[in-house]
Chains A and B, each alone.
Chain A
């Protein structure tokens, strides 16, 4: 009886068909996930082996099943060929699987396995040939009298081949996987896959061995009509497993897991992987930098040691704002605990945490910046307002300045550093035209101006200018500049009237660098200069006059005494001549004495007249403004004024000019004023001096004063609020106080001399007095030629 190699069980045949379909579909299925071309040769080999095996086995099962096939028949030969073809497949299975594992794990292929594969193939071919050529050879094979293959030659021989060429590969593959599992980190995905792979691989291999070899031998081949049927089907699973394993492991750089790893490293939030015991296994770089530590320090550390707030590390939870001290710095974290199930039995925990203290810090900063920004905006508004106010003020002061400058009563201009006119007031434009934004030619610029502009020295000087053509314009080309000598000469020659005198100023506006901007001012001081000159002249006249008068006073006193002496001498001489006989010799002597006395009298009179004439000569023919004299008198009075007396001289007509002796007028007013002050010495009061023009239509007759003719007069009033005078006193005021007042007391000759002076000046006076109220003296000084200066 021949041994059966193929079963005719319809279940097995159906199962084979399904397995064939699956194994044919498998490459298409893999190709959907990855490109088929990317799969290694060994996988293709595995698939081809499986297809080969399933197909040949199916043919065998259909056509060559049962144990009725007799040796040396065509059916036997075909059956053995089919079986050999199937054996060519499975003999390479172990090699293909091991090859796949090596490629998946990037191991180097050892050439011994190639040799073993070739030997296995060869062995199958030879054994097949032997079975066909001599079917009895194997069963008859004798080793020391023992025939190991006699019972079931095909089964045992091929079992030996299987053990030699397939089992070692399986063992090595298991070893490779185990080694890989031991070496790699347990959180890595390949690690897990390798474990599954190993388990499945071992399981399937064990089933194959169990049902294909151990059970048939153990049951003594009870109804066993097949060979390696289990392994045939298991090869399908192994092919699929190997392919799956390869894709899972070898494409790791392009896989989700790779992407996740990259993502973990790019994250700014921290990730901590830890196992169910809470021991940290892995941390991403962000976690390390946040916690200021290294992977080595963290490894196997308890998660609760770092985050004490996490009470149960294996429970999924969210923790907000937990405070952790790192390097003595307070940090605030938001942390979440996730559980990641990696496989059915394994999972690990991930702590996902972010340092929100920075976030809070930045939020605070943003808030502060926001507030600052608002503050700045407010500030800007305030500054704008302030700016507006200042602008308004500046505008106001500018218009004020413009108005002021344009209406200044003298010429004003302003030039920049280059000498260009920037400002001119109306007075200046009237004099030289509008020169704004232009500069003057160099020959017209005065050296003083250059000094002020270039050296910064303020310049002040007086210039004399003659207007060439009085009817022409006032421009500079109609003006001749004179030196002071030329001016003095012109004044001496009486040609000074058309010469104008100016006070010139060039004021530099000092700036850090030369040259400077300058302000020019030109003030017409002709009138002031003339008045000053007139005042000086009057002063000089008064001085000469007072000297002469002093001399006259001395001589007058002397003459008065001497006149009396001469008078007595002449009188006595006359009396002597009366009583003497004409023939007496003494008569002639007395006559001669009288002649001598007469001569003395004449010469004395000549002296007196000369003195008086001189004094008078200095008085006459001066034309002057009396208000100046009054001013002078008031000034003098102030020096000796008693504190209880006030002097007022407010109403003085400055246009009135009179001809006469300024010195006399000074004396008269001084005397009147001194008397008035004397009268107010006890009780105090006010002295008022006024000057005005008055026209008398008819002669003015008043008591105590000579008549004043009709005419035009300068009326000078000297009024006091003193004690006034009774009639007796009024009568007496005209007597010379010479005898009662000591000379030099300031009252001089009193009103008596004033009277004479008034007479000389052809002036009149009136006096009104009321006891207890005061006295008013009015002097009437004729204005002889009113139109003289009008």
Chain B
């Protein structure tokens, strides 16, 4: 059974993504910031980690860099809705850190599911 960690400060989006992947039969954990997420991904290993970039405590870049040090860049997907600037800025930066994929908000659910499947398949 594959496990997924979803990190976003928006609880509703967390719930939506958790529902979307649980419908597909994945085990899903959620965290509302980087610090909470860190305790989770240090405790147990996840097949895929989906993280937002702009968060109040422990932003997405910290998570991405942390995971990169753990050699898990290829299991990481960055999502961003952009803030005062366009989302692409952050995602371009994230791409520099060799994440597996980046997605703009609002998310295209089927594409995101396909990408998750693709990553899991690539590691199985």
B89: nearest residue on chain A (CB-CB)? A756
**Distance in angstroms between the alpha carbons of A408 and B30 in the assembled complex:** 78
Are B85 and A734 in contact (CB-based, < 8 A)? no
| Given A559-B81, A560-B84, 4 extra CB contacts under 8 A | A556-B83, A560-B83, A734-B93, A753-B85
**Which of A601, A612, A736 meets B106, CB within 8 Å?**
A601
Are A579 and B23 in contact (CB-based, < 8 A)? yes
Interface of A is mostly: helix
Evaluate whether A568 and B65 lie within 8 angstroms (CB atoms) in the complex, with A557-B83, A740-B59, A752-B89 already known: no
Which positions 559-576 of chain A face chain B at CB distance < 8 Å?
559-560, 563-568, 570-572, 574-575
- Is A22's CB within 8 Å of the partner chain B? no
**Which of B85, B89, B93, B109 meets A571, CB within 8 Å?**
B109
- Is A755's CB within 8 Å of the partner chain B? yes
Binding stretch for chain A, among B10-18, B43-51, B115-123: B10-18
Are A736 and B19 in contact (CB-based, < 8 A)? no
How many A-B residue contacts, CB cutoff 8 Å? 107
Which residues does B use to contact A, with CB under 8 Å?
Answer: 8, 10, 12-13, 15-17, 19-20, 23, 53-57, 59, 61-62, 65, 81-86, 89-90, 93, 96-97, 105-107, 109
Evaluate whether A578 and B23 lie within 8 angstroms (CB atoms) in the complex, with A735-B93, A738-B83 already known: yes
Q: Which residues of chain B have C-beta atoms less than 8 A from A732's C-beta?
A: 61-62, 65
What are some 21 contacts across the A-B interface (CB < 8 A)?
Answer: A557-B84, A559-B82, A563-B105, A564-B8, A564-B10, A564-B13, A565-B10, A567-B105, A568-B10, A568-B13, A571-B106, A571-B109, A575-B20, A731-B61, A735-B62, A736-B54, A738-B54, A738-B83, A739-B55, A755-B93, A756-B85
**Distance in angstroms between the alpha carbons of A296 and B75 in the assembled complex:** 158
**Contact code string A745-787 (vs B, CB < 8 Å = 1, else 0):** 0000100110110000000000000000000000000000000
B104: nearest residue on chain A (CB-CB)? A563
- Is A297's CB within 8 Å of the partner chain B? no
The 4 A-B residue pairs with the shortest CB-CB distance in the complex, in nearest-first order: A567-B106, A571-B16, A556-B84, A735-B61
- Is A84's CB within 8 Å of the partner chain B? no
**Which of B16, B54, B93 meets A560, CB within 8 Å?**
B54
Q: Which residues of chain B have C-beta atoms less than 8 A from A740's C-beta?
A: 59
- Is A553's CB within 8 Å of the partner chain B? yes
B56, chain A: closest CB distance, angstroms: 5
Are A739 and B89 in contact (CB-based, < 8 A)? no
Are A567 and B107 in contact (CB-based, < 8 A)? yes
**Distance in angstroms between the alpha carbons of A736 and B54 in the assembled complex:** 8
Are A568 and B12 in contact (CB-based, < 8 A)? yes
A735: nearest residue on chain B (CB-CB)? B61
**Distance in angstroms between the alpha carbons of A564 and B89 in the assembled complex:** 17
**Distance in angstroms between the alpha carbons of A557 and B94 in the assembled complex:** 20
**Distance in angstroms between the alpha carbons of A567 and B13 in the assembled complex:** 7
**Which of A566, A728, A739 meets B54, CB within 8 Å?**
A739
